[in-house]
Amino acid sequence: MQKRWGETFPLGGLGGVPFTGKTGWGAFSSHCPDDGNIIVLFAPHVGIDKMGVIGNINRPGQCHTTTACGAAIGAYKAVSSDPNSANFQNGHMDH
């Protein structure tokens, strides 16, 4: 997108959802030229390697495949090994 249209303005977090408040949207929109257009693209923060394996990525300059996103993969593995690890109540984890 940057090669095609120029400047980009990241708004997201690990989930890939535009994640900002009123001030962030104001900062974002201030970068748009007069009579310009804004494109909002969102997708999960996850790699896909050359073989099409989701959760892996081939990084430039590295000869081996690595996981991406490590934080998301770690969270997935934690919940997979203990489904109760994702139970939250009043902002605190239930154990």
> What confidence tens digit (pLDDT) does each residue in 58-77 have?
999 999 999 887 777 787 78
Shared domain check, 58 and 32: no
Shared domain check, 29 and 54: no
State the residue range of the domain holding 35.
1-44
> What confidence tens digit (pLDDT) does each residue in 41-58 have?
777 778 889 999 988 999
Instruction: Please check whether residue 51 is in contact with residue 43, taking contact to mean a CB–CB distance below 8 angstroms.
Output: no
With respect to residue 92, please indicate whether it lies within any of the assigned structural domains.
Answer: no
With respect to residue 94, please indicate whether it lies within any of the assigned structural domains.
Answer: no
Shared domain check, 40 and 50: no
Domain count, the chain: 2
Shared domain check, 50 and 28: no
Residue 90's pLDDT is 56
Shared domain check, 58 and 31: no
